[in-house]
């Protein structure tokens, strides 16, 4: 019997990892910046993590247009349905917690335990505001006693398109804390995410896109706050401004918004006076009421 010839197997070439391309999130899609620019994102140790899109003024205008287009449909949904959608965000985020915890370890230099805790806090915050969607009207509205044969009723309504500057620290929890209350109350949002740690925001955009959140309700811009901020603050089709993450530029942005906006949420301390307000574990309605307007209806009775 002839001996079988044995040949050595050729070594397999090393597999090239599929590197992720981080883009903007506008109108439910993931476009690159129209300028074609990007900027490097590094960890706290200085290691290169990825390149993020560097949003331009045109991207900011496109984001506002997408938010305005989505406002009518989102604000007309029932509060209960909006709560279901926010809860769905928490469900999908829970299923991807390992991805977000690993990202927090790399980007922020956290221990695994601390990263898990940060992700859990963000998930809990989505559930918290999901529970408020159909209750805030009962807390802030109601029948008003008036003199005369009238029925007088007040109810909160969303103000419109809200431009939000997310906190620079705690990128996932910070973004959740300023975004969830805006959309829970029926508004649409244009968010300038953390400049130094934007990757969690783009990963969260993928969660939003698969959680029944209609395109345009949330629009996320990565880039430089000093470049994008003045144009959002002075945009005539932006109805409210959250300056939580604007830092030293908050006063400048508020001044730019003076001719077009009536609602501005200024950064401030938390309930204990020692932390930023967005870190409060029980924020109540404090982050929802600035983006609501009160509609009062008079109706004659006994006639």
To which H or E segment does residue 101 belong?
A: helix 97-108
pLDDT score of 163:
97
**3-class SS shares of the chain: helix, strand, coil, % to 5:** 40, 20, 40
Q: Residue 273: which pLDDT band, with cuts at 50, 70 and 90? A: very low
> Residue 40 carries which DSSP code?
E
Sign of the Cα torsion 196, 202, 203, 207 reads positive
Which residues sit opposite 190 in a β-bridge? 163, 219
Q: Is pLDDT at 120 greater than 90 in this prediction?
A: yes
The DSSP result for 103-142, as a single string, is HHHHHH---HHHHHHHHHHHHHHHHHHHHHTTTHHHHH-E
- Find tokens 């406002």 and name the residue: 71
Which sequence spans correspond to the domains of the chain? 50-77+139-300
pLDDT score of 53:
94
pLDDT score of 13:
83
Spatial contact of 60 and 231, defined as CB atoms under 8 Å apart: yes
Of the two residues 142 and 40, the one the predictor is more confident about is 40
Pairing of strands 142-143, 150-158: antiparallel
Q: In the chain, pLDDT over 90 holds for what percent of residues? A: 67
Q: Which structure tokens are listed for 154? A: 């007040």
Q: Is pLDDT at 272 greater than 80 in this prediction?
A: no
Q: Which of 26-40, 242-256, 275-289 has the lowest mean pLDDT?
A: 275-289
pLDDT score of 145:
78
The CATH homologous superfamily of the domain defined by 50-77+139-300: Aldehyde Dehydrogenase; Chain A, domain 1 (3.40.605.10)
Whole-angstrom Cα distance, residue 228 to residue 261?
A: 17
Spatial contact of 85 and 213, defined as CB atoms under 8 Å apart: yes
Residues 169-204: tens digit of each pLDDT: 788 999 999 999 999 999 999 999 999 999 999 999
Using only C-alpha atoms, the chain has a radius of gyration, in whole angstroms, of 23
To which H or E segment does residue 49 belong?
A: strand 48-53
How many other C-beta atoms lie within 10 A of the C-beta of residue 126?
Answer: 25
pLDDT score of 62:
97
Name the pTM for this structure: 0.89
Spatial contact of 189 and 67, defined as CB atoms under 8 Å apart: yes
* 113-129 mean pLDDT: 95
Spatial contact of 192 and 223, defined as CB atoms under 8 Å apart: yes
Spatial contact of 60 and 221, defined as CB atoms under 8 Å apart: yes
């Amino acid at each position: 019997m002839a001996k079988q010839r044995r040949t050595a197997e050729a070594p397999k070439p090393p597999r090239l990892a599929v590197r992720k391309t981080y883009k903007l999130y506008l109108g439910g899609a993931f476009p690159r910046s129209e300028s074609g620019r990007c900027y490097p994102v590094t960890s706290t140790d200085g290691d290169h993590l990825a390149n993020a899109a560097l949003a331009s003024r045109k991207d900011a205008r496109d984001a506002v247009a997408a938010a305005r287009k989505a406002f009518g449909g989102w604000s007309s949904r029932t509060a209960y349905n909006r709560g279901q959608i926010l809860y769905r965000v928490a469900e999908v985020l829970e299923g991807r917690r390992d991805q977000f915890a690993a990202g927090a370890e790399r980007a922020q230099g956290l221990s695994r335990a601390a990263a898990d805790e940060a992700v859990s806090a963000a998930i809990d915050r989505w559930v918290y505001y999901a529970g408020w969607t159909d209750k805030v009207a009962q807390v802030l509205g109601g029948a008003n006693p008036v003199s005369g044969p009238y029925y007088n009723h007040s109810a909160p309504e969303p103000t419109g398109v809200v431009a939000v500057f997310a906190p620079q620290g705690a990128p996932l929890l910070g973004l959740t804390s300023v975004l969830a209350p805006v959309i829970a109350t029926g508004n649409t949002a244009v968010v300038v995410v953390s400049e130094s740690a934007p990757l969690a925001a783009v990963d969260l955009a993928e969660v939003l896109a698969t959680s029944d959140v209609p395109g345009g309700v949330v629009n996320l811009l990565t880039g430089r706050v000093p470049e994008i901020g003045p144009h959002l603050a002075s945009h005539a089709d932006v109805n409210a401004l959250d300056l939580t993450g604007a830092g030293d530029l908050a006063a400048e942005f508020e001044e730019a918004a003076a001719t077009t906006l009536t609602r501005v949420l200024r950064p401030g301390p938390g309930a204990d006076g020692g932390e930023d307000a967005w870190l409060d574990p029980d924020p109540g309605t404090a982050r929802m009421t600035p983006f609501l307007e009160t509609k009062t209806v008079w109706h004659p009775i006994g006639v």
